[in-house]
Amino acid sequence: MMVLIRCLRPDRITFACKEFVSKKLGPEFVRPPTLNFESVFTKSKAYEPIIIILSPGVDPYPQIENLSQKKDQSLVQLSLGQGQTTRAKEKIIEGVKSERWVFLANCHLSIGFLAELEKLLDGLKIDPESKFRLWLTTNPHPKFPISLLQRSLKVTTEPPKGIKANMMRMIHQMAEEGPTPMDQNRPYKKLLWCLCWFHSIIIERRRFKSLGWNVM
């Protein structure tokens, strides 16, 4: 059947492969996993940066901020750009000494600083048991240092595809923040579900730009 679809409708082969894998192995093999920053933190080490490769419309900072509060860690945030490299170095040095978390956003705007960052991390001699963590966010960039990528823990934040995947992501993020009054209130649960459903539809329609809306 797959060979027949490949010959007659090559444009449908991707969907056919997904359906085949889902039936033979299970739906979990075609469903993208929800990004969990707590598991990322568990796998990370103090001496290796955590590089988050961004996708349009995705901001991981609120989730990392919630995680730092849950772990009772101080988090310092800085957006890189023109004239911010000196401050970034100071924040990293202070973070290593006091075992804080440092969050540097938009590293693709300071590609020249990243080579200095690698030398800085080597010179600090970070204790592997330290609570210090360095979080970096960047858009894909052809001049991003390969050596820094190789020594880092890499995470992608691709937006989920489909209404169900978007709803699962939103509910999972709220679960990470801890229990809320809605957990014990049935009417509010329905309201929350409707808001997640509506938000997921809006995100899906955005892909089609003006065709996804009623044009008057």
Q: Which residues of 61-70 are buried (b: 16+ CB within 10 A; e: fewer)?
A: eebbebbbee
Please give the C-alpha separations between residue 136 and each of 88, 127, 176, in angstroms, as whole numbers: 11, 19, 21
H/E stretch holding 178 reads none
> How does residue 132 score in pLDDT terms, banded at 50, 70 and 90?
very high
> How does residue 38 score in pLDDT terms, banded at 50, 70 and 90?
confident
Residue 180 has pLDDT above 60, yes or no: no
Residue 78 has pLDDT above 60, yes or no: yes
E strand map for 58-165: 75-79, 101-105, 133-138, 153-156
> How does residue 112 score in pLDDT terms, banded at 50, 70 and 90?
confident
pLDDT tens digits, residue range 3-35? 888 888 888 888 889 888 988 898 878 776 667
